[in-house]
Amino acid sequence: MTRLMKTSSAALIAVGVAMPLWLWWHGANLAPAVAQTPAARATKTAAETSEDANGAIRVTVVQPTVEPLRRVSTQPAHVDPFEQTSLFAKASGFIAEVKADIGDRVKKDQVLVELSIPEMQQERMQKLAAIEEARAAVGQAEARVVAAQAMIDAAQARRDEAIATIAQQDAEVAYRHSEHARITDLVKARSVNEALADEKLKQLQAAKAGLVAAQASVRSAEANIKVERARKTQAEADLTLATAQVKVAEAALRQTEILMDYATIKAPYAGVITRRWANTGDFIRSAAVGQNEPLFTLVRVDPLRIIADIPENDSSLIRDDQPATLVIDALKGRPFIGRVKRSTGVLDPKTRTLRVEIELDKPDPQLRPGMYGTLTITLAERKQAILVPSRCLRFEGDRAFVLIATKGKAEKRPVTIGLNDGNRAEILDGLKPDDTVIAESRSPLSPGQPVQATAARSAK
């Protein structure tokens, strides 16, 4: 029994060793049979279709098209007023009358609110009186200037008279001197009495005294002229001061009148009242002393600002006067035509977008600030362009190229790319309309490899 068990165990071990060898031998012979299963045959068929019998790679080709191309940027947009202004009071007072309400369309300089400020009217009257007083002082100063000039003229006349008297006395002295000399000679000759000589001497001395007096009169007159000129200078200074005081009084009056003008709140431009906080009888403090709440909010809605943020990729193509179309969903998709009017010129560092503003060609009352819609800006447009599908483009670094099928082989053709609308790319240089461009290949493709071309259904 024990011998039988040992024999059976040896047989089992032998079978266990032989079984893998049998499977290996027959598995090798069964491999061709496995390859002939339907799944294996389908895989072999797909592999064989990437190349034909001559080793050519099957490719899909397209012909470049020549047609218009337009690149656009479509972004969300919203409508803003052209201007929005909060109107405050510059003067403190009670509201006497409110002449506008929300929704009112007002004209430029139209009165919106009248304030009552009685103390300013009284102040205006005081400053008018101050002006009259200053003008009277000017009149007095002018009269003193005229009087001083008259005194100068009188002093100059007295000086001229004294100068004339000097000349007369000079002649008198000369005459008396010669007569005295003649009589003196006659006395020496005992022709006349000495008493006559004494008389002539006294006359000579009197003439000399008269000359001295005339010279003194000239000096006195010149001194008087200086005094009167000084008085005139003082009068002229008083006139200048009085004239300046008139200007100061007039400026003070203008200031008061300006503050009184602030009592009338006017619209700075034509627009629509959107908010109102003013009520008749309210006491309003001047905004200069801390008035925080405005009386009105006024918006200018002609024209409107259409605002959109353009992504960085499109921002370099933004130019003033580019055509744009705004579509507002709330208005059933109605388009509004306009043009790019301005842009910030810099990208927002947080969103990496460029803010642009569009103004519409024709204002429309249905379009209101606060509305949202979609804005399409035409960034660039070509009337005739050589186009290929964007999927045809290949790159080596920053250099673009396409592969074309020519004479049964793939040829590398460097190209210069123009516009790209996402589906089609404009080729500026390197490609002709009659070239056959490889769009897709079922195997990796290199220049010079044989190809078998199959036309695609559309170049787009």
Q: What is the pLDDT of residue 54?
A: 62
- Biggest alpha carbon distance in the chain? 222
Compute the distance between CA of residue 119 and CA of residue 270 in angstroms, rounded to an integer.
Answer: 32
- CB of 322 within 8 A of CB of 375? no
- For the stretch 5-15, pLDDT in tens is 333 333 333 33
Q: What is the pLDDT of residue 306?
A: 94
Q: What is the pLDDT of residue 3?
A: 36
- Whether residue 303 has a cis bond before it, omega within 30° of 0: yes
Compute the distance between CA of residue 413 and CA of residue 406 in angstroms, rounded to an integer.
Answer: 11
Q: What is the pLDDT of residue 13?
A: 32
- CB of 385 within 8 A of CB of 429? no
Compute the distance between CA of residue 90 and CA of residue 96 in angstroms, rounded to an integer.
Answer: 15
Is 132 exposed, middle or buried (CB count within 10 Å of its CB: 0-12, 13-18, 19+)? exposed
Domains and CATH numbers, the chain: 57-69+384-455 (2.40.420.20), 89-117+265-289 (2.40.50.100), 120-261 (1.10.287), 302-381 (2.40.30.170)
Band (93; pLDDT cuts 50, 70, 90): confident
- Helix spans in 288-433 (H): 312-315
- CB of 384 within 8 A of CB of 68? yes
Q: What is the pLDDT of residue 351?
A: 94
Residue 401's DSSP bridge partners are 394, 414
Band (134; pLDDT cuts 50, 70, 90): confident
- CB of 179 within 8 A of CB of 201? no
Compute the distance between CA of residue 109 and CA of residue 147 in angstroms, rounded to an integer.
Answer: 52
- For the stretch 245-276, pLDDT in tens is 888 988 988 888 888 888 899 999 999 999 99
402-408 mean pLDDT:
90
Compute the distance between CA of residue 12 and CA of residue 307 in angstroms, rounded to an integer.
Answer: 89
Query: In the chain, what is the straight-line distance between the N-terminal and C-terminal CA atoms, in Å?
Result: 87
Asked if pLDDT for residue 166 goes beyond 80, the answer is no
Asked if pLDDT for residue 21 goes beyond 50, the answer is no
- For the stretch 189-245, pLDDT in tens is 766 677 776 777 777 778 778 777 777 777 777 888 888 888 888 888 888 888 898
- For the stretch 305-354, pLDDT in tens is 999 999 998 999 999 999 999 999 888 888 999 999 999 999 999 999 99
Q: What is the pLDDT of residue 228?
A: 81
Compute the distance between CA of residue 158 and CA of residue 149 in angstroms, rounded to an integer.
Answer: 14
Select the more confidently predicted residue: 63 or 43: 63
- Helix spans in 189-292 (H): 194-261
Which residues fall within 8 angstroms of residue 221, CB to CB, at 6 or more apart?
155, 156, 158, 159, 160, 161, 162
Select the more confidently predicted residue: 259 or 396: 396
What integer best gives the mean pLDDT of the chain? 81
Instruction: From 111, 86, 104, 79, select the one nearest 358 (Cα to Cα).
Output: 79
Q: DSSP class of residue 443?
A: S
3-state secondary structure of 233: helix
Q: What is the pLDDT of residue 376?
A: 95
Band (373; pLDDT cuts 50, 70, 90): very high
Q: What is the pLDDT of residue 48?
A: 43
Compute the distance between CA of residue 334 and CA of residue 362 in angstroms, rounded to an integer.
Answer: 14
Instruction: From 377, 367, 376, select the one nearest 330 (Cα to Cα).
Output: 367
Residue 336's DSSP bridge partners are 326
